Chains A and B, each alone.
Chain A
C-alpha cells in the first residue's frame, strides 16, 4: 500500500474555507494530548488558553493591543509572500521604525512641543522601516543576492544597533542605569481609546490598513500584478509587469508597515524604547501571515486568534505554572498544520495498491 499525492483538476473551494479550521482543531487536540502527558488537566488548559481571556473586558483589550502590531506587519508581509518575495526581516524593520520614530521623542523629551510630534514620529517610523527594507530589496534586484538571507541578517544588525543606542547615547539619565530611554511625553504617546484598558488608536489604523489591503489585492491592477508575479513569473513578464520594481515596492510597503507598527508599539503600550521592545513580533507576524492564508481579512482573524493564545499563555503561566515557551510551540505546530491542510486544497491523497512483481522470463 502506498499513499500518493495527486493534483486536483481545480482548487477545492470547500477545503479552502475549512483548512484553517481543521488546522486549529488538530492543533488544539495535539495540545490537549501534550498537556495530558505533562500531567496537566487538558480541559483546564484549553479553558485558560482560549476561553478565559475572552471573559474579561480588560483582557479583551489586551488581545486587541497584542494583535495590532501582528496584523499590521503581517498584512505587509502577505503582499510580499503572495509575490514569492520573502521578506524575513520584518523584525529588523520593526526595530528600525521604532528607533527612527523614537529619535524624535527622545530629542523633544521634556520640552514643551506641540501635537505635531506624534504624527511626525509615525511618519519617521514608517519611513525608517521602508528604507531599511529597501536594503535587502536592492541586494536582490541589483546583485541577485537572496533576500531571505540578507533581510534576516539585517535583523541581527538592527537589534545590535538599537541595543547600542539604548545603552549609550539615548539612555535615560534618571533611569538608574537601566538600558532604556526616558518615558515618552504625553504629546509623543499614542492615545488610548477608552477610559480603562490599553486599547489604542493603533488598532484603528490597523483596521484601515486591512481594508486598504483587501481592496488593493482584490480590485486593483497592482494587486493583480502581485498575484501573477507570485503565481506565474513568466506570465507576469509577458503581461508587462516588472518583477524588479515589484520587489522594491513590496519590500518598501511591508517595511513601512513594520516600521509603523514598531513606533506605534513603542509610543503606545510600551511608552519608551528598550532592548526588549520587539519580543519577536516580526517573526510571529510571519506565522500570522501564513495562518491568515496571505489574505488581509484572514490575517485579521489569525492575528486576533494568535493574540488570544499569547494572553492565554500569560494566564497559563500564572495559574497552571506552564512556561511561556509553550505558546511558541503551539504557534509553530499550528503553522505546520495550516501548511499541511492547505496542501489539500491543491492536491489530494490517494491510496495506491503497490505493484507486485510476478516472476517472468527475464534476460
Chain B
C-alpha cells in the first residue's frame, strides 16, 4: 500500500537524521560544558578525528565496540589534556592552541589510521526489544538505536541537570562568568576548567569514534569532514543552553542528510552544492543568530576565552 511505503521512507529519513545528528550532539555537548567554564577549545575537530582513528583501531584490534569507544574517549581526553596544559598551565592564547590541536589531530589521526584503511569491523549493535522494536514507524526510531544515540540523549540531560540543579554546575557557571570573583572566593578555577576541558575532549573523542564504529563501519582519513567545526557553531547557536543544543544538533543533522536524499529525488542539482549545504547553513545560522542577539548583548559566558593567571 502506498501509504506504508511513505511511512517506510519517512522512517528511514528520520533514522538517518538521528544518526547524522548524534556525533554533532555528542561533540557539542562536551564543548558546551567547556565554554560554560570560560574556555574556548577550537580543537574539537582534531579531538574528534583522533577519536575516530583510535576508536576504530581499538575496535578492530579487540573486536569490541565498547573498547573502541573507550579508546576514542581516551584519545579525545588525551588531546584535550595537551590543550589544557598549554592554555591553563602556561596561559597560552586559546585560539592559537585550539588551531594547533586541530592541525596535530588531523595529522596524527592520518598516521594512526593509515594502517586500517580498507579494513572493516562489525558495526555497533542496535537495540532490539521484542515487540517494541517492531512497532511500525516509531519502533526502530525509539527502540532500535545503537548505544551511542541513547547515550547522547542521556548525556545532554545529565549536563542540563548538572549545570542547573547541582552545586558543581553552579560553581562551573560562576567560573565562566567571572574567574576573578571565583578565585577570590577560593574556588580552584584552573582545576575546574581542566576537568571541563578533559570532559569536552572525552565527548569529542566519543563523537569521533561514533563515525567509524556505528555510522559507517570503516575508517577514512579525514572522515569527520568538519563536523567538529559545526559542533562549535552549534554551541554558539544554542546560546550555551542545553535545550537549544539538542534542537540545533538535529537541525544540522537534517541539513547534512538532505544532500543524500535530494540526490535520490533526481533533481539536477550538482552534488557539490548539496555537499556544501551544511557549511553554508552554518554560516547563515551564525549570521542570523548573532544579529538577533545584537542589541540584547551576548549570552556567552562572560570570561570566555580570557586568560587567567591567579596571583598568589
Contacts and interface: CB of A to CB of B under 8 A. Distances in A.
A and B touch in the complex (CB under 8 A): yes
Interface of A: 3-7, 81, 86, 88, 139, 143-146, 148-150, 152-154, 156-157, 160-161, 163-164, 168, 283, 286-287, 290, 323, 325-329, 331-333, 335-336, 339-340, 342-344, 346-347, 352
Interface in B256-296: 270, 272-273, 275-276, 279-280, 282-283, 286-291, 293-294
| Interface SS, B side | helix
B95 A325 contact: no
B100 interface: yes
A332 B106 CA distance: 9
Given A145-B286, A168-B270, A339-B93, A328 B99 contact: no
Contact of B111 (A144, A152, A161, A329): A329
B309 A139 contact: no
B291 A144 contact: yes
A145 B90 contact: no
Contact of B293 (A139, A144, A328): A144
A149 B236 contact: yes
Contact of B92 (A7, A144, A328, A342): A342
21 contacts: A139-B287, A143-B286, A144-B290, A144-B294, A145-B290, A149-B283, A153-B279, A153-B280, A156-B279, A160-B276, A287-B100, A323-B114, A325-B108, A325-B110, A325-B111, A328-B108, A329-B111, A332-B103, A333-B104, A336-B86, A347-B309
| Interface SS, A side | helix
CB-based closest 9 A-B pairs: A332-B104, A328-B107, A160-B272, A144-B290, A343-B90, A325-B110, A164-B272, A145-B286, A160-B276
B36 to A, nearest CB: 17
Contacts of A144: 290-291, 293-294, 298
A153 B312 contact: no
A22 to B, nearest CB: 14
Which of B273, B276, B312 lies at the interface centre, i.e. has the most chain A CB atoms within 10 A of its CB? Answer: B276
Given A161-B272, A347-B91, 20 more contacts: A3-B89, A4-B310, A5-B91, A6-B309, A81-B96, A139-B287, A144-B294, A145-B286, A146-B236, A150-B287, A153-B233, A154-B283, A157-B279, A160-B275, A323-B111, A332-B105, A339-B97, A343-B86, A343-B92, A347-B309
B99 to A, nearest CB: 6
A283 B290 CA distance: 26
Contacts of A346: 91
Contact of B110 (A161, A290, A328, A347): A328
A24 B169 CA distance: 41
Nearest to A349: B90
Contacts of A7: 309
Contacts of B232: 149
B286 A339 contact: no
Contact of B282 (A153, A164, A352): A153
A331 B104 CA distance: 8
B103 A150 contact: no
B226 interface: yes
Contacts of B276: 156-157, 160-161
A6 B309 CA distance: 7
Contacts of B105: 332
Contacts of A86: 95
Nearest to B221: A325
Nearest to A157: B276
B270 A156 contact: no
A170 to B, nearest CB: 13
B42 interface: yes
B229 interface: yes
A347 B272 contact: no
A145 B275 contact: no
B82 interface: yes
B43 to A, nearest CB: 11
B35 to A, nearest CB: 12
B99 A88 contact: yes
Nearest to A3: B89
B107 A325 contact: yes
A323 B294 CA distance: 48
Which of A152, A161, A352 lies at the interface centre, i.e. has the most chain B CB atoms within 10 A of its CB? Answer: A152
A3 B92 CA distance: 16
Contacts of A154: 279, 283
A325 B273 contact: no
A163 B276 CA distance: 11
Contacts of A286: 99, 103
Contacts of B106: 328
B124 to A, nearest CB: 27
A280 to B, nearest CB: 9
Interface string B48-90: 0000000000000000000000000000000000100010011
A85 to B, nearest CB: 11
Nearest to B288: A143
Nearest to A290: B96
Given A325-B114, A332-B107, A150 B283 contact: yes
A153 B229 contact: yes
B286 A336 contact: no
A341 to B, nearest CB: 9
